[in-house]
Amino acid sequence: MRAMLFASACAAAQLALALPANAQNAADQAASNDEEIVVTAERRTTSLQRTPIAATVMTGDDLANAGVTTVDQLQFVSPGATVNNFGQGIDFNIRGIGKAEHNTQTTTGVITYRDGVATFPGYFTAEPYYDIARVEILRGPQGTFVGQNATGGAVFVTSNNPEIGGGSHGYVMGSAGNFNYVGAQGAVNLPISDTLAARVAFNTDHRDSFYDITGPYTGDDGVHTFSGRFSLLWEPTSNLSVLWKTDANYLDLSGYPADPVLATNDEFELTANAEIAAVDRFARTVLEVNYEFDSGITLRSVTGYQAGSTLYRADLDGQSAFGWTFRDYVKEDIFSQEINLISPDTGRFAWILGAYYQRDEYEFPPGDFIIGQPPGSIFTEYSLEGSNPKETSALFGQASVDLTDRLELEIGARYAESSTENHISVLQYGTPILQEQSAEWDNLSGKVSLNWTVDDHNFIYGFVATGFRPGGLNVPVGLGLPAPFDEELVTSYEVGWKAGWLDGRVRTQLSAYYNEYENFQVIIGYPAFPTFGFELNTPNPSVIYGFEAQVEAVFGDFSLDAGLGVMESEIGRFFATDPRAASFTPCNPDTGPSSLSCINLEGREQTYAPELTFNVGMQYVFHLPGGDTLTPRLNYGHVSEQWATLFQNEARGDLVEERNIVNAQLAWTHGDFVTTLWATNLTDQHYMAALNSGLRFAGAPRQFGVRVYRAF
């Protein structure tokens, strides 16, 4: 079953480097709170304060101020979010819903979109944030517009577009810090004609390893990455715009060292006797075309193609005394196409219609996916090769009508069909096993929302929304073709209140939710023969409910932003055998019977569902002679302890400890230059950032340095 657990990734947690996503003139960032915050997830630009979605929206400047450079750090700036990073893949959960098992068949429940395209749902998670216009973190199921893989929520990352008529402008930035860290970033806008402009951006990072690894293998030599993006915007008429973006990434992350979860040594002082490596190479190209008809209806087309390869090598037992090793090399490519018809939103009635298609294929080349104990013999190795193609297609739409001048009704729905196939060959310690198997699912999900604009400063909403995540196929273990596991379903009930206070200086969001979570996908001991692991669905629904609050405040030169999430969860009646414990006693998930090995999990907490998340950031702009400014900023993020498995066995290391991350920076603005002293994880908290297959993965230690930014 280790092959299944590692098909997506087993890699160490990597909180990203401290190079910011962007930079800005610090004197401008706290001047006012008048700029409207917008969201684009519903295929048109709407005000966050008038949209029935619980969301955290951050500009590129906000990301820089908070020290956010990759997906890991979003958990410290948005309530209800947790990210447990294994390098090749992540467990990204919002409100306790997302991803808990680590294989290609178990898709994510929190999908990330980049420039309008759904990205890889498992691998290639370390893509940096640079030259970013906006990041939207949406909480709760997004069944209408995102569809599958958004049962917990979705993240929309939008990079800066070229500007026609904006002239030549851009920025460059360099950074240096401890662990011999050096980084550079920049972007330039290139006017080509009155109807055509381009933008070029890049990001590169280099640093030494966090780890001291002793023999016989000591191969982790740090991080070396390069990313680039080319964008082209063409607007030949006022009705037509064509935007093309292509990203390329080379991420040599060197490796994700780890040791046994119950080890008592320092997390960064490890032993290993197997090769350690992690290299991701991938690219994405996106073509977005918008055409507005004379009627005001807009035709929108977004075409995406992504291709990549990920290489991983690991010491599977995390020690030098044993022989468990793992290596894989996986290729993945995705083609997607979305088409929308979008009505004007100037009248009492507005609508959106859409169609979507995606094909996603994993390829496991021969000889590149091997677990060995020890390696070198077919009788001591587990190998896998073949392919796993997946397809999904959907039709969706949303309509809104103004019942009165202040009361709006929104109804959205999405019908989707999904399929997955395994064409694989397994050599299980000398025993050949073939799998030719497929499975299909269909689903109708959506949202009904009633929105009340009380006055110019208060907006209240209530909705019922549903979400869907497809099932998948189990890897055979010699007991015949195993049954597929089924789709997950979420029904969410939410009410919210968004308000503005003190002439717009303060914005608040309050929301309360109650989720019915059906068919949670979990790996347990095979019900009839628990010696083997098997993925299935919990037979009774879990409930997850909570409260969230956000505030943004600007008072002259002082600004503050904060978020709070309180969550409770309970697993429905469910009997299971812990696959880590040897047992031969059958255990029926519905009826048990309860025993020392057949455990009744009813009432236990959902995995990756911390009871409390909290974040706060504040800064003050001091004005110096000659127009210079000095801006200190402090950010704090807290994620309370959480369980990594439903078995909640602390003696086996299932408890993921709380995280308290403090970032700080001091920015001096002088003309076009901003010089910043920065530090991440200022208190140098050593903590387990992720848990997988009996290994612990450390979060990034304290990093500090200086960066210099210049706009031109």
Q: How far apart are CA 368 and CA 379, in angstroms?
A: 17
- Do 224 and 252 meet the contact criterion of CB atoms below 8 Å apart? yes
Among the ranges given (213-217, 394-398, 498-502, 521-525), the one the predictor scored with the smallest mean pLDDT: 213-217
Q: Is the pLDDT of residue 122 over 80?
A: no
Among the ranges given (92-101, 317-326, 514-523, 676-685), the one the predictor scored with the smallest mean pLDDT: 317-326
Residue 376's pLDDT is: 76
Residue 175's pLDDT is: 97
Residue 218's pLDDT is: 66
Residue 104's pLDDT is: 80
**Token pair of 78 as six digits:** 């948005």
Q: How far apart are CA 306 and CA 311, in angstroms?
A: 17
Q: How far apart are CA 367 and CA 429, in angstroms?
A: 14
Between the alpha carbon of residue 679 and those of residues 173, 175, 618, 634, 706, the distances in Å are: 17, 12, 15, 10, 9
Q: Is the pLDDT of residue 576 over 70?
A: yes
pLDDT tens digits, residue range 600-640?
Answer: 999 999 999 999 999 999 999 999 999 999 999 999 999 99
Instruction: Tell me the mean pLDDT in the region 235-264.
Output: 93
Instruction: Tell me the mean pLDDT in the region 572-585.
Output: 88
pLDDT tens digits, residue range 401-448?
Answer: 999 999 999 999 999 999 999 999 999 888 999 999 999 999 999 999
| Residue ranges of domains in the chain | 2-711
Average pLDDT, the chain: 90
Please name the CATH architecture into which domain 2-711 falls.
Answer: Beta Barrel (2.40)
Report the share of the chain in percent with pLDDT over 90: 71
Backbone torsion region of residue 145, taken as left when φ is above 0, otherwise alpha when ψ lies between -120 and 50, otherwise beta: alpha
Residue 255's pLDDT is: 83
Q: Is the pLDDT of residue 321 over 80?
A: no
Q: How many CB atoms lie within 10 A of CB 192?
A: 13
Residue 216's pLDDT is: 77
Q: How far apart are CA 659 and CA 613, in angstroms?
A: 10
Residue 502's pLDDT is: 94
Per-residue 3-state assignment (H helix, E strand, C coil) for 125-163: CCCCCCCEEEEEEEECCCCCCCCCCCCCEEEEEEECCCC
Q: What is the pTM (predicted TM-score) of this model?
A: 0.91
**Confidence category of residue 34, pLDDT binned at 50, 70, 90:** low
Between the alpha carbon of residue 107 and those of residues 125, 335, 469, 489, the distances in Å are: 13, 17, 7, 13
220 by Cβ neighbours in 10 Å (0-12 / 13-18 / 19+) ranks as buried
Contacts of 124 (CB under 8 A, 6+ apart): 249, 280, 282, 308, 310, 332
Among the ranges given (146-150, 322-326, 561-565), the one the predictor scored with the smallest mean pLDDT: 322-326
Closest CA to 172 of 133, 201, 212: 201
**Confidence category of residue 346, pLDDT binned at 50, 70, 90:** confident
Instruction: Tell me the mean pLDDT in the region 307-329.
Output: 85
Q: Give the SS3 label for residue 554.
A: strand
Among the ranges given (230-234, 270-274, 276-280, 456-460), the one the predictor scored with the smallest mean pLDDT: 270-274
Residue 33's pLDDT is: 57
Q: How far apart are CA 226 and CA 683, in angstroms?
A: 29
Strand pairing category for 81-85 and 90-94: antiparallel
Q: Is the pLDDT of residue 510 over 50?
A: yes
